[in-house]
Structure formats: C-alpha cells, structure tokens
Structure 1
Amino acid sequence: MGAKTPFKDQQSYSLTKKLVPYALYALVPLIFIRLYLYPIPITQSQRSQEEFHTNPISSTSSISTPSPVQEKRPKPKENQCDYFNGKWVHDKWGPLYNGTTCSTIKDGQNCITHGRPDMDYLYWRWRPKQCKLPRFNPSNFLQLVKNKHLVFIGDSMARNQLESLLCLLSSASLPDLVYANGEENKFRRWNFVSHNVNISVYWSPFLVKGIEKSNEFNYNKLLLDLVDEKWAADMDQFDMVVLSVGHWFLHPAVYYDKDVVLGCHYCPGMNYTEIGFYDVFRKAFKTTLKAIIDRRGSNAVDVFVTTFSPAHFEGEWDKAGACPKKEPFKEGEKIVEWMDAEMRKIEVEEVEKAKENAASIAGLRFEALDVTKLSIMRPDGHPGPYMNPFPFADGVKDRVQNDCVHWCLPGPIDTWNEIMLEMIKRLEGHSSRES
C-alpha cells in the first residue's frame, strides 16, 4: 500500500501528451481573435518613438531651412464637412463681380482692367471631397453679421481677403467708406447701411508690436511680448476678427522679448544670434491670441485665423514668366511642404491651444480658416506682370515686375470668404447667441 502505480502514471502521461496539441490548436485562433478585437495599446514611450521617426521636425524648430515636413490634416468632427480638403474643378458660371463692377479693388490686384488676356483662371471652383461648397450668398452673409463689426488684422494678405469680401458683398449692397487713415489708407472702415454692418482693416504685419524697416535700418524690429496697440486698443469694439499674417516674418528682423534681444533672422554683420523665424512666428501668435482672450471686453467674439498663403514664384521676381501657370495644379500634383507646411502647422496648433484656453469663456470662439492647400494649388491666380496696367503695351520685356503672392480680384481668394461664410453658419447653428 502507498506504492505508486507505474501503469497509472504512464496512462496519465499518455493522456496529457495527447491533449496538449489539441489545447494549443484551440488557443491559437483565440489569441488572434483577442488581438484583433482588443489590440495591445501603444505605450507613451512607443508613441514618442514613432512620432520621432515620422515627424522629425519639432514644433519649436527655429532653423531657417526646415526639412520637407508635409501638411498633416486633423480629422473633422463626425458629420462635419472638411471644406479644406478637395480639388479645383472647372466652373462655367464664373465670379459674382468683375474689375469694373467693384470699386474697392486695390489697383495692383485688378488684373482684368490691367489687361490680363487669359480669363480661364476665373472659371474654377473649389470642390471639397465630402460635401458641396455653396456659392457665396452676400445677403446671407450680411444677415449673419447684422449689427456687428468685422475686422481684418494683418498684412497685405488680410487686405486682399478684405477687398475680396467687399466685392462679393457689393453685388447685394454697396458699402460706404466711413474712415480712412495712415499711409496708403492702411486703416479703413466701411459701413453697410442696409444691415448696420461695419467692416474694417487694420494694418499689422506682425500682430505684435513692431517697427518696420526704413531708410535708417534695413530690418524689422519685433517686440514679441507686446501686442500691437493699433488694433488691440479697439479690441472691445470687435465682434468678429480675421487674422492673416506670414510673409513679413520672412524679412530680415531683430527680435526682442521684455527688452532683451533674443536673436535675429538674416542679419549678417550684426552681433546677434541667427534663430530663424518659426519660434518667433509661434510666439507672435501666442501673444496675439492671449491678448484677444484678455481684452475682448463684454462682446462675444469669433476669431478666424487665415493660414499661410504660399507664393508661386518660378525664378526671379522681376523676370518675364515669374508665375507662368495658366491653370490649377491637379490633385496630388502639388503638396504642402517645407516652409509652407511649417507656417500652416504653427497657426493651426496655436488656434487649437487657444480653443482649449477659451473653452470655459462664454462667447469666445477660435477657428482656423485653413486655406494653405487650396491656395497652393492655384498658381494661375496671381496678378503676375498685370499688377501694373498693360505691362506689354510697348512690347514684351525681359525684365518686368511680378506679383506671384497676392491674388487677382476676382480670383481664387474669393473661395476663402465662401468657406468663411460656411464656418460662420456652422458656428451660429451651434450657438445660443442671437444673431
């Protein structure tokens, strides 16, 4: 008694030997099903390594020549159209206005009256992938901004967008110029009596306080901790703000923060550290958006940041054929990368941060008017040599001044305001404010 039975152990061992393979066969598919339905979460360290390899440019890069970072588009919210992802398609209807029916076009963007011979650039429409972008309805826009003050703040691209909007609205109601001041009337205001709407433009190419280059010094001075009081002093009078800057940050400049020199961009011969302009661009937006939050007064304010609009120079700016394209790029033919992508990325990121900071503040909303992709696909929409009247009246010249930055009016920039109208509709549809 008590002795082990060799036969029983052998029998148990044989049974186990037979069952193990069957158990393994049963477990393998279960493991695959488990992994498919409940994938292993990526740890923070794994995620950081992946981001390092897929996006080598950090958001705080300050070098002058970036790696070819490409545009990354955030996913739109559920059931919300992404108006900024699409393609240009031919359109037989053309624009709402022309160079003679609108009186507020800046001379340099009036391509039709300056003798531009090709008209095909007027017959394209932006078609988002997910939805339809309606034609601009001027009466609808004026009704949405009734009794409000809409302001454009920034450089000449802000002015370009403003003048596009004035022309679009003029097809329904003519504005009265009620204020003009500054060199080249850089500060102006129009009033639409029909809806008691004021639309203003404030020249502020850096948004923060800056001293523009002059005959005394050939570089700009930027005070990154101080907002530009030319517009900020009136902040409590605004109901809707459109910010648009970028190209002036590419110019030579010296940067200050609390009266301390941080460095400079393209300042050979000066005893300052070259730091580029990306960090500066970001800092300027931080200062600006914080000032809007702090100084808006009692008004409810919607803020739109128009993202960077790329230039299309091919070769020298003063040589014939500097922007020679006669039709849009096709989908995939041109992508947003390098500096264009980095400038856009900074603006979109700062808008998202401002949204978070203002999340608990009633009546304050921030949106990115993300026009970079749709703009880079329109190399045909610039004045080129027709920034001046009839540049080839005396024959074709080898050297001629070109504008491959701003946009003809009418032209592709009208689409920016079409999209802005849809964004205002979307905001008002989810708003408890009275319009």
Structure 2
Amino acid sequence: MGFSRTRRSYSVIALSFLTISFLCLENANGCCNVYKGKWVYDSSYPLYDTSACPFIHKEFNCLKYGRPDHLYLKYRWQPSKCNLPRFDGTHLLRRLKGKKIMFIGDSISINQWQSLLCMLHAAVPTTSGIITQDLHNHTVSTVTFKHYKVSVMLFRSLYLVDVDKETIGRVLKLNSIRNGNLWKEVDVLIFNTWHWWHRRGLKQQYELYKNKYNLIN
C-alpha cells in the first residue's frame, strides 16, 4: 500500500497484535515488549499484491498510479528481544471464526482496515465467499468472509465523539457518542483518532466544543 512509513507502522503493529491475540511474547528473559524494535528488510515481503486486492481505495494505491520505488514494501517490524510470528491469514480466520472486528477512526483506520482485508484476501482469494456491505448511511463498511463467518468492519469517525451542526456553529460534543451502540456487539475494537485532535483553523472540523458542564470557544 502507498501510505507513509509512520502509517504503515501503526498498521503492521496493530495487525500483528491481532495475530498473537494481543499478548506480549514470552521468551527466556520473560515478557517481550513488541513495541520496542525496528524496521528490518525482508525479501519475502509484501504479504499481498496490491493489484490483486479489491479493497484498496484508489487514493491509497500508489503502485497502480505510478510510484516507481518498491523498497518500502520490503520491511517488517522486528521487536528487539523476540520474533513476531509471520502473519497467517487462514490461521487468523480460523481463530476468529464467528467473530467481528471493527476499526474505528479516520484515514489511518482505513489504511489498517484495508491492509487486513488484503492480507486475508491473499490467504482466501475466492470472491464468491466474500460479502461487502455499507450500512448505517455508509458510516459502517463491512466485509464478511462467509466460510469463517468473520466480519471485518470500518466505522468512520474522526473524533469518536459527535460533531453536530447547531445555530452557534459546528459543535464537538465530548460526552456524546450516538453511534456507540453499534460497537457493543463487536468482539475486537481497534481505535484511532489522534490525527484530528491537533488540527486548527480551516482543517479543524468543529468551531466550538462542549460537555455537560460548559461551552468553550
């Protein structure tokens, strides 16, 4: 995929945690911190062919639109004191049979969602066993691998909380998550929202924010 090294790091680390069930790795020295490590070259990468994956949005498909260098696709995350198991899409689908996974957040979450779908699609490429749906006015996108009854979902939300247009302007409501009920029946939730909180000026999606105690300009 064509996103930057920083975005790619969040994606690969998140997906690796899915593979190992979010547990730290045990070794001779105890628990291995998988956050501490570095990117290393691996000639066996990438784990999927972007041209064969139907889930990548065109704005993220750098190779299709002419990116000439491919070296960035050849890196994997290597913890300092242990080895992560190589991603196995079929194994993951078997372990999560009957479960729902949801990515909640902004474009970084979209990157992660598409990466996981492409990695699973590479392991189970039969399109007749895959269902794609957009629900709740396109707020939620769902791809279901029918044979395993595994759904991989994307919930689009820049701030997690609600932004409403009122007479005083666009208001960020810190104590309001109207669509939060959609998350309750999901087995694995992966949140990301940091990218939008530091934006100011025209890039900021709200003009005021409030909670139950006050309203602040």
Q: Using structure 1 for the length normalisation, give the TM-score.
A: 0.39
Residue 226 of structure 1 pairs with residue 195 of structure 2: no
Residues in 1 aligned to 2:97 and 2:161: alpha-carbon distance in whole angstroms: 30
Structure 1 residue 241: Cα displacement: 0.7
Given candidates 84, 93, 100, the residue that maps to 2:35 is 84
Structure 1 residue 181: Cα displacement: 4.0
Q: Is the 8 A contact 2:131 2:146 kept in 1?
A: no
Residue 248 of structure 1 pairs with residue 196 of structure 2: yes
Distance 1:260 1:177, change over 3 A: farther
Residue of structure 1 equivalent to 2:157: 204
Given candidates 128, 149, 158, the residue that maps to 2:100 is 149
Residue of structure 2 equivalent to 1:176: 130
Residues in 1 aligned to 2:55 and 2:76: alpha-carbon distance in whole angstroms: 23
* Residue deviations 1:29-74 (CA, integer Å, cap 9, x gap): xxxxxxxxxxxxxxxxxxxxxxxxxxxxxxxxxxxxxxxxxxxxxx
Q: Compare the two structures and name the one with the higher strand fraction.
A: 2
RMSD: 2.6
* Residue deviations 1:239-298 (CA, integer Å, cap 9, x gap): 11111111121233421011731x3xxxxxxxx3xxxxxxxxxxxxxxxxxxxxxxxxxx
Residues in 2 aligned to 1:178 and 1:237: alpha-carbon distance in whole angstroms: 19
Moved over 4 A (4+): none
Residue of structure 1 equivalent to 2:183: 235
Residues in 2 aligned to 1:182 and 1:100: alpha-carbon distance in whole angstroms: 29
* Gaps in structure 2 of 5+ consecutive residues: 1-24
- Which amino acid letter does the alignment assign opposite residue 194 of structure 1? H
Q: Aligned residues: percent identity?
A: 30
1:328-343 matches, cutoff 5 A: none
Distance 1:122 1:220, change over 3 A: farther
SS of alignment partner, residue 167 of structure 1? helix
Structure 1 residue 234: Cα displacement: 2.0
Q: Is the 8 A contact 2:131 2:145 kept in 1?
A: no
- Which amino acid letter does the alignment assign opposite residue 131 of structure 2? L
* Gaps in structure 1 of 5+ consecutive residues: 1-75, 264-271, 273-435
Larger Rg belongs to: 1
Given candidates 109, 112, 120, the residue that maps to 1:161 is 112
Given candidates 99, 107, 121, the residue that maps to 2:72 is 121
1:27-426 matches, cutoff 5 A: 79-174=30-125, 176-181=130-135, 185-211=138-164, 220-227=170-177, 229-230=178-179, 232-251=180-199, 252=204, 253=206, 254-258=208-212, 260-261=214-215, 263=216, 272=217
- Which amino acid letter does the alignment assign opposite residue 155 of structure 2? Y
Q: Is the 8 A contact 1:81 1:131 kept in 2?
A: yes
Distance 1:114 1:103, change over 3 A: same
Residues in 2 aligned to 1:92 and 1:172: alpha-carbon distance in whole angstroms: 19
Residue of structure 1 equivalent to 2:17: none
